Chains A and B, each alone.
Chain A
Amino acid sequence: MTVVHMRIDNRLIHGQVTISWVGALRADHLIVSNDQVAQDEIQKMMLPQAARGVRTSVLSVEDTASYCDTEEAEKERIFLIAKFPADALQLLERGLKPKEINVGNQAPIPGTKFKMVMRTLAATPEDADAYRKIASNGYRLTCKMMPNDRPTDFLEVLQKKGL
């Protein structure tokens, strides 16, 4: 499988992703991975159009993992967007081995015990646990806004905020 990059971003596909990241990664297949989004007919119609011509799939976590095991996927440069850290963790547990993992936007969810750890990044204690488990799979979790930014270690960011 050739998942060249996994991004954790609950805004899914948006300007920053299509304009800056797709090109820098030379990705030829975008996969949005989240069970709820995979059942949302409007998002399934809108997200591929938002991707400006790059092939786009909107799949459940399970279907993402199965697809990434296929021969077709092996020939691709897949840019995976997991909606939440829990989705990303589940994908790793299902055997996915993305080359790198970056945390994009996480807008706060009202009613949860979140802290803003960066300007566009909220995290709850449960999220922080998921991020640490992701990193324990041998990843240096970064939080870069643009592909060429200097990488910041996201676990250090969480630690500084007491999470």
Chain B
Amino acid sequence: MIGIVLAGHGSFCEGLRDAAQMIMGPQEHLAVVPLGPAENLDEYREKLERARDEVDSGDGVLVFVDLFGGSPSNVSAYLLGASTEVVTGVSLPMLLEVLSARTGSLTDVVNTAVASAQLGTIRLADRIGAGGGS
């Protein structure tokens, strides 16, 4: 099973985990690493590395970060390697997709995550034929 680490500004990743577990129930091999406003980035890197080791069951780990270019994303680059990947711009639909399909290879799971990014954003009026606007 691919391990998952959620990293982000403030309590973003805790909120994301809560939302996912509310929908899918408790999840294994899932860790959160929130970045506080006065956090030292060297310490944050160590926390990320510890979380990665914690959730790794030997099949690899996918680290999700909230914002490309933000500090969690910049620091997560140190973790990249053969058994660790990082995907930025995580959303709830993306996380749910991955949580329900994380028995494949790390590459498969990364592809699932990236592909789900667009599928999760829909203009609701298009779906229910309400039209409206132009």
Q: Which of B40-61 contact A (CB under 8 A)?
A: 40-43
**Beta-carbon contact of A122 and B38 below 8 Å:** yes
Binary contact readout A7-18 vs B (1 if CB under 8 angstroms, 0 otherwise): 000111111001
Given A42-B78, A45-B77, A107 and B69 touching (CB < 8 A)?
Answer: no
Total A residues in contact with B, Cβ cutoff 8 Å: 26
Could you say which of A46-54, A67-75, A127-135 contacts chain B? Answer: A46-54
Residue B71 at the chain A interface, CB threshold 8 Å: yes
Residue B132 at the chain A interface, CB threshold 8 Å: no
Q: Which of B19-75 contact A (CB under 8 A)?
A: 37-43, 67-71, 73-74
Chain B residues whose CB sits within 8 angstroms of the CB of A120 once the complex forms? 37-38
**Closest CB in chain B relative to A23 CB, distance in Å:** 15
**Beta-carbon contact of B40 and A108 below 8 Å:** yes
Given A10-B41, A107-B38, A110-B40, A15 and B70 touching (CB < 8 A)?
Answer: yes
Q: In the complex, what distance in Å separates the CA atom of A151 from the CA atom of B18?
A: 39
**Closest CB in chain B relative to A110 CB, distance in Å:** 6
Chain B residues whose CB sits within 8 angstroms of the CB of A42 once the complex forms? 77-78
Chain A residues whose CB sits within 8 angstroms of the CB of B69 once the complex forms? 13-15, 18, 49-52
Q: Which of A7-53 contact B (CB under 8 A)?
A: 10-15, 18, 42-43, 45-47, 49-52
Scoring A10, A14, A109, A121 by chain B CB atoms within 10 A of each residue's CB, the highest score goes to A14
Interchain CB contact (< 8 A) of B74 among A43, A52, A108: A43
Q: In the complex, what distance in Å separates the CA atom of A99 from the CA atom of B67?
A: 31
Q: In the complex, what distance in Å separates the CA atom of A11 from the CA atom of B69?
A: 12
Residue of A nearest to B69 (CB): A50
Residue A146 at the chain B interface, CB threshold 8 Å: no
**Beta-carbon contact of B38 and A109 below 8 Å:** no
Chain B residues whose CB sits within 8 angstroms of the CB of A119 once the complex forms? 37-38
Q: Which 3 A-B pairs have the closest CB atoms?
A: A50-B69, A107-B40, A46-B74
Report 11 cross-chain contacts, Cβ distance below 8 Å, ordered by A residue. A10-B41, A11-B41, A11-B71, A13-B69, A42-B78, A47-B74, A50-B73, A107-B38, A107-B40, A107-B41, A116-B38
